[in-house]
Amino acid sequence: MVKALSLTTALALAVGLTAGAASAQVNLTTATASPGSIVNVTTHHLARVAAERGIANLQVQDGATLTNTVLDVAEGRLDMSEAPMILPFLLSRALGPYSAVGEERGAELASSLRALYPFNAGGFGLFAMESANIDSWDDIAGKTIFNGPPRGAALTNARQAVMLAAGLQDGEDYTGFQVNWGQLQSLLTDGSMDAFVFPTVHPSDRVILMQSAGDVVIVSTPREVYESEAYQRIFNFPGNIPIEIPVEDMGYSDGIRITQADDGIYRAMGTAFATVVRADMDYQLAYDLTAAHIETLDELRASTPYAANAGHGILDQRLSGFCGNNQLLYHPGAVAAWEDRGYEVPDCAEPPM
């Protein structure tokens, strides 16, 4: 879907760019999550630097349902999308939201996806107001807990995080409450929920919003639970990655307390993401987009307080979510861009020659 701009359109775009920025050579369509998320920040950073470097003009769809846009990329209706890594896996098996695609077609479509770079959307933590008297995962028994939108991987993973940490079942041991992400903002301050389980990077805008209503508690996964054989097995499933952040690096001040992190490390089950394109994207375009991302990593990390903890620039297969049961591979142009800048791409994540 990459389309060369006409001379007239290119000139019009050039006039609209800020002084000193080169006019982009192609138009690309891309999709991302809602504003205020690290997913959205990552997309818009690339859109800015790609335009400044004259690589491409990214037309960004904010607040998209990524389940749909990943399929749009695979089927050629969209050039790029941010993708939780669980989605290409589900598509490859025609599972969950892709069950209607069919196994053969799902495998074919998933094989057409390629990654430019990885990052993560943070870890699943437990969040509550101090007034709720919740200091551990066990304390949510009998409580009403927001645990995600009505469908999708976030809800499944939130339930799994609670089960592994405390052995509590949604609907039996606590009441799970689900609404779309757009409605979460009001829930964080209106007192209708006892606690929340969702993925986030830190310092989290959502936690800071909660603090406007009073002091907040963040509950880490206890080390003994996190390091158990049962908990470690979840990292074998595509899209799940380990998150470990020194408490001192989480970026919070007075009024926000972290519990279950006695050794000074916050632990959680994380959500791996990648920026995906089709395998037939032009090699040089994929190279240039990835190079722009790599060469401006410091700017990206400095763009918002939580970006420093989102795993940009980490290619380790365990920490980035590649390989194993995850069949998503890098685009050849992306591999070259990373390796030309001194990074090592895992062999298992490279496309066949």
Per-residue confidence of the chain (353 residues) as pLDDT tens digits?
A: 433 333 333 333 333 343 334 446 799 999 999 888 899 999 999 999 999 999 999 999 998 889 999 999 999 999 999 999 999 999 999 998 899 999 999 999 999 999 999 999 999 999 999 999 999 999 999 999 999 988 777 888 899 999 999 999 999 999 999 998 888 999 999 999 999 999 999 999 999 999 999 999 999 999 999 999 999 999 999 999 999 999 999 999 899 999 999 999 999 999 999 999 999 999 999 999 999 999 999 999 999 999 999 999 999 999 999 999 899 999 999 999 999 999 999 999 999 87
Tell me the residue range of the domain where 318 lies: 3-120+273-349
pLDDT score for 2:
38
pLDDT score for 81:
98
SS3 category, 273: strand
pLDDT score for 7:
34
Q: What is the pTM of this model?
A: 0.87
- Domain match, 56 and 97 both: yes
The answer to whether 258 and 305 are in contact (CB under 8 A) is no
Among 240, 270, 300, the domain boundary falls at: 270
Residues 6 or more apart whose CB falls under 8 angstroms from that of 169 comprise 163
- Domain match, 254 and 304 both: no
Q: Identify residue 280 by its one-letter amino acid code.
A: D
pLDDT score for 297:
98
CA-based R_g, the chain, Å? 21
Give the helix/strand (H/E) hosting 267: strand 265-278
pLDDT score for 157:
87
pLDDT score for 24:
60
- Domain match, 101 and 142 both: no
CATH number at residue 59: 3.40.190.10
**Closest among 13, 60, 288 to 5, alpha carbons compared:** 13
**118: Cα separation from own chain's centroid:** 9
Burial degree of 100 (CB within 10 A; 0-12, 13-18, 19+): exposed
- Domain match, 104 and 51 both: yes
| C-alpha to C-alpha distance for 103 and 263, rounded to whole angstroms | 46
Give the helix/strand (H/E) hosting 67: helix 66-74
Among 270, 289, 313, the domain boundary falls at: 270
Q: Identify residue 43 by its one-letter amino acid code.
A: T
- Looking at the structure of the chain, the number of domains it has is 2
The answer to whether 310 and 201 are in contact (CB under 8 A) is yes
